[in-house]
Each structure stands twice: as structure tokens, then as C-alpha cells.
Amino acid sequence: MATHTLDFERPLLEIERQIEELKKMGGAGGDGASRSSDLAPLEKQLAELRAEIYRKLTPMQRVQVARHPKRPYPLDYIRLVFTDFVELHGDRLFGDDPAIVGGWARLDGQTVMIIGTQKGRDTKENLRRNFGMAHPEGYRKALRLMQLAEKFHSPVLTLIDIAGAHPGLGAEERGQAGAIARNLIEMAALRTPLIATVTGEGGSGGALAIGMADRVLMLENSVYSVISPEGCAAILWKDATQKERAAEALKLTAQDQLTLGVIDEIIPEPTGGAHADAEAAAEILAEALKRHLRELMKLRTAKLLKRREEKYLSIGAFTEK
């Protein structure tokens, strides 16, 4: 199982290969007992090395994990965390954007509206889903579903893994900026609890367009940024290869956002990242979502809205003379 494909994971690959080999030899009728005694230290070494590598990820390595092709995507979490999912389509204005998925689902005995951005697993699906980069109709679909949830007094949960809102001709013609702006002002006033979770890439305005919420959570290895490290490097230093430097400067890790007061909680991932064990990652996510949901469901709507406004009013850093 080549779950480790990132450059900094290469040392793991070697140990994994050795383990595989030993297992094969064991299966071929060798001395079973001595084989498994060889295996145990190797597996221990693998686990320790994996933990060691993931403890010391650089910001750009975090970006790589967040973009890992095997990382669970929102539809995976929808399958693993929720039951009774019924997908709903279309913005009723222009079309259906496959880069954003959403629908009714159940969590902890409660009907919720779940909305997520969705990348493709292969080229064909990526073409259909536009690599998970949403168009205005995607954001308008998301808003329609949020308002549907509001109508039936259901909380809204969003899962975010998007490089950014799609920059293109059609997106501009159909009002990408206006669609995001509209979502923000409507989410600010939405009369039902909102919980947003960044599961992979939190790509700027395209992420925030479904990311303004009463509680904002981030998976441990997800990132949130105003611009991609590549884009930042290209603008500041006219050199996209300076992305490590940019990733460092942008303070885009989950820990950074917690420190800056932008998010409420970091959701731990299994050692080796969510892609190493999707089920375990989903289990931890489910627990966190249920806990926040229970807390928010206790609040009266007026209080919920007041707190939401105050939460965002308090974000920012400046001096006053």
C-alpha cells in the first residue's frame, strides 16, 4: 500500500518495503516465529519514524499533506461520519456545480445540512469537478441549501478542501465576487447554527464563502491561507519556486490560525495524516462535530447571531493612537 508518496515520507517507504518482504517470506513457509520477531521491531521503527516525521512538518510539507491525493475528501467524510445522506443539486439559477456537494444527512440523531467542496480522485472526475474549484453556481447552490436548512431549523455543517474559487471567464461573467459576497452577508445572518471544518486546503475567499461560521475547526494537517504559497511567491519575489519561504511567511497552518484567533479548535489526525487512516480520522472528526453541535443547539437564535457577529468583529490586529 503506497500511501506514502510525498518526498519527505520516502524513509517510511523503505521500511514499509522491508516489512512487506518479511511478510512474504513468512508466508512462504519459513521460520514463522523468528520472522514475526523480526517484524515487530520494524513496525515499531516505522511507527516511530512516521510520528517523528509528522511532528516536525514544515509549513510547505503541511501544504503537501493537505493536498495529498489520497487524503479523505468531504464526500469520504460524509460517507464515514454521517448517515442518511441525500444529495441535493443545483442553484436554481444557472446549473449544478459538481465542485460543491451538499444535502441532508444525519449526525448524532440530528438532521443537518452538510455542504462540502469536492476534488476528484482521478483525471476524469477532476475534469468533472474542476479540481474542486467552485464556480458562482456552486456558491449559490451552497447558499440555497443553507437557507433550506434555516427554513427547517437544521444546523449547517460545511467541509472545506478547496485550492480556491475558480478563476476563469465563465466564473467572472456569472459574478464570482458577487456570489461569495452574497454568501458572506447571508451566512452572517443565517438563523441556524453553522460549523465549518477545513479538512484539506482552505483556499482564500473560495473557502471562506462556505467557511463563515459559529465554530471554525481545522484538521491538524489542513491549511488555511489568503493566497497559495506559489501565488504569494510569484507576487512577492516573482519566483514560484520560493514557495517554502512563502508558506513559512503566510502562517497557514492550523496551529497558526488557532494562535491568531481565527479558528476555534484543531482536530487531531491519526499519526501519518488523515490519508494513513481515513476511518480513524473520520471518527475523531465526528466526535468534534457532535460536541460543537450539541453546544450550539442549546443557544437561542438571537444569542447565536450576536456571538457570531462578535466573534468576527474581534478578529484583526492593529494599534490605535
Q: Which residue ranges make up the site for other proteins (CB under 8 A)?
A: 165-169, 171-178, 180-182, 184-189, 202, 204-205, 208-209, 212, 224-227, 231-232, 235-236, 245, 249-252, 256-257, 260, 262, 308-309, 312-313, 315-321
176 vs 192, which CB is nearer to other proteins? Answer: 176
Q: What ranges make up the beta strands (E) of 53-193?
A: 83-87, 100-107, 110-117, 156-162
206 vs 272, which CB is nearer to other proteins? Answer: 206
- Is residue 155 classed exposed, middle or buried when 0-12, 13-18 and 19+ CB atoms within 10 A define those classes? buried
Greatest alpha-carbon pair distance for the chain in Å reads 79
What cell numbers appear for 199 in the block?
Answer: 479538512
Least distance in angstroms from the C-beta of 93 to other proteins: 11
Least distance in angstroms from the C-beta of 320 to other proteins: 5
Least distance in angstroms from the C-beta of 261 to other proteins: 9
Least distance in angstroms from the C-beta of 311 to other proteins: 8
26 vs 175, which CB is nearer to other proteins? Answer: 175
200 vs 231, which CB is nearer to other proteins? Answer: 231
d(CA 3, CA 71): 9
What cell numbers appear for 151 in the block?
Answer: 427554513
3-class state of residue 194 by DSSP: strand
63 vs 81, which CB is nearer to other proteins? Answer: 63
202 vs 272, which CB is nearer to other proteins? Answer: 202
Torsional sign, CA 197, 203, 205, 210: negative
Torsion of CA 299, 305, 307, 309, to 10 degrees: 170
Least distance in angstroms from the C-beta of 61 to other proteins: 18
Torsional sign, CA 42, 46, 48, 53: positive
DSSP class of 56: T
Least distance in angstroms from the C-beta of 5 to other proteins: 26
